[in-house]
Amino acid sequence: MKSCLVVDDSKVIRKVARHILETLQFEVREAGDGREALDQCAKAQPDVILLDWNMPVMSGMDFLRALRQSEGGMQPKVVFCTTENGMAYIRAAIEAGADEYVMKPFDRETLESKLQIVGVA
Amino acid sequence: MTVARPAGPLGPAASAIVALLEQRTGQQLDAGRAWRIDSALQPMLRERGLSTLDELVARINDRASSERGLADLVVDALLNQETSFFRDAATLDTVVQAGIDMVAETPRRLRIWSAACSTGQEPLSMAMLFAEASERTGILPPEIRATDISMRALMRARAARYTQFEIQRGLPIRRMMQWFEPRDDLWEAKAELRFRLLYGQQNLIADPMPAGKFDIVLCRNVLMYLSPATRGVVLDRIAPVLRPGGLLVLGAGETVIGHTDALVPSERYRGLYRPAAH
């Protein structure tokens, strides 16, 4: 079973993502900000990370840069999942090491499609 | 025209509409998919102040009605436009490799026909893939003809503008960044991609087939809606427009076997079909 870490400060978004991911047979973990996510990744790297941009304590972008420099941090596929849907944001995320990008709001088909593109679904 | 009202498990008006759809397009709407009639036609009923399908069928049959082309609009509304970018991506990769092989054997500009392009994601996917192949291998970008029976779908295909949900289905973000740009809350294919495509309306069972021969014809997820006899008709019409050595691409689960002798499975490209040698 593949594992997915959902990093979002919104409980509602985490719950929606968890529901979709569990129907796709993922083992789901959650983190409410980038710092918490880094701690979880230090214990065990997930196969894929669904990552919000704007969060308290540590943003998605800061998390991504720290993850990619950490031991084993190149391993997880990272899919940004955010309301920031401008081309400049997308380009910045890809340059920082994101593998894919989901513009919120999203539905099951969108998420499944992006997970297939990064090769984990 | 008058719409016949065959007897069946559906109500008389729904049966008449099912018959109209099959007569015009060859597509069958069995009882299991008949729920689509109500949902697809509700907007048309509302726009015309009609409250039942019976009234709609009466309006179609009313020769004195000022609304010409109503039957066409009903048929168009019932057509399934489900599609996405890079649908069945592995098959499309095989198609591109086949195209590269064809050009290596006989250098030329390939001609490709997306015969049921719906809202345009399939021909745009092919255009993107072949543009990338062109960068890698130096082959000329192919001529891509994109047709559909539905004018409504074709208008959207020509506009090449997609909602946030549509653009995210199947399209990798790097390709979106390269080939699309935001416009009025939609994502529009860049001109350099749109200009690679030639659009037109095409009824696969009734209209004359496009002129000339094609190297590759994509006709995916069409046969599944047709009766076995009509599948044969469509395949027999496609076979002559394929060049010798050309390839037909069907949807997953669709086949030529049992429907025509004019096409056979390709020995070289798994899942694709070629004209039978006579």
What is the C-alpha separation between A34 and A21, in angstroms, rounded?
20
B4 domain-assigned: no
B251 & B135 share domain = yes
Res B3: pLDDT: 53
Which of A84, A94, A113, A115 to mutate to probe the B interface, most B CBs <10 Å?
A113
Q: Which two three-digit tokens encode residue A33?
A: 């900000």
Pairing of strands B186-189, B180-183: antiparallel
B100 & B229 share domain = yes
B6 domain-assigned: no
Res B65: pLDDT: 74
Res B277: pLDDT: 82
Which of A81, A101, A112 to mutate to probe the B interface, most B CBs <10 Å?
A101
B57 & B164 share domain = no
Q: Do A103 and B164 touch (CB under 8 A)?
A: yes
- The pLDDT tens digits for A78-100 are 999 999 889 999 999 999 999 99
Structural domain span for residue B67: 12-78
Closest chain A C-alpha to B44 CA, distance in angstroms: 28
Judge whether A46 and A76 are in contact, CB under 8 Å: yes
B257 & B129 share domain = yes
Residue A71 exposed, middle or buried by CB count within 10 Å (0-12, 13-18, 19+) = exposed
Res B274: pLDDT: 97
Please tell me the pTM assigned to this model: 0.91
B144 & B67 share domain = no
Q: Do A87 and B172 touch (CB under 8 A)?
A: no
- The pLDDT tens digits for B79-113 are 888 899 999 999 999 999 999 999 999 999 999 99
CA nearest to A87, candidates B211, B190, B38, B173: B173
Q: Do B84 and A100 touch (CB under 8 A)?
A: no
CA distances from B73 to A96, B21, B120, B131, B151 (A): 49, 11, 20, 36, 9
For this complex, say whether ipTM is above 0.85. yes
- The vertex-A86 CA angle with A70 and A21, nearest 5°, equals 55
What is the C-alpha separation between B108 and B277, in angstroms, rounded?
22
B72 & B101 share domain = no
Q: Do A85 and B164 touch (CB under 8 A)?
A: yes
Closest chain B C-alpha to A73 CA, distance in angstroms: 21
B85, B89, B91, B93 alpha-carbon torsion, rounded to 10°: 100
Residue B2 exposed, middle or buried by CB count within 10 Å (0-12, 13-18, 19+) = exposed
CA distances from B116 to B92, B206, B246 (A): 15, 14, 18
Q: Which two three-digit tokens encode residue B13?
A: 């008006």
Could you tell me the CATH number of the domain that includes residue B231? 3.40.50.150
B190 & B65 share domain = no
Judge whether B159 and B194 are in contact, CB under 8 Å: no
CA nearest to B116, candidates B194, B187, B29, B26: B26
Q: Do A109 and B181 touch (CB under 8 A)?
A: no
Closest-CA residue of A relative to B175 is A100
B7 domain-assigned: no
B84 domain-assigned: no
Judge whether A45 and A3 are in contact, CB under 8 Å: no
Res B83: pLDDT: 93
B16 & B57 share domain = yes
Res B227: pLDDT: 92
Please give the domain boundaries of chain A with CATH numbers for all domains: 3-115 (3.40.50.2300)
Residue B58 has pLDDT above 60, yes or no: yes
B182 & B108 share domain = yes
B61 & B145 share domain = no
Inform me whether the C-beta atom of residue A108 falls under 8 Å from chain B C-beta atoms: no
Domain total of chain B: 2
Q: Do B182 and A107 touch (CB under 8 A)?
A: no
Q: How many CB pairs under 8 A join A and B?
A: 33
B204 & B258 share domain = yes
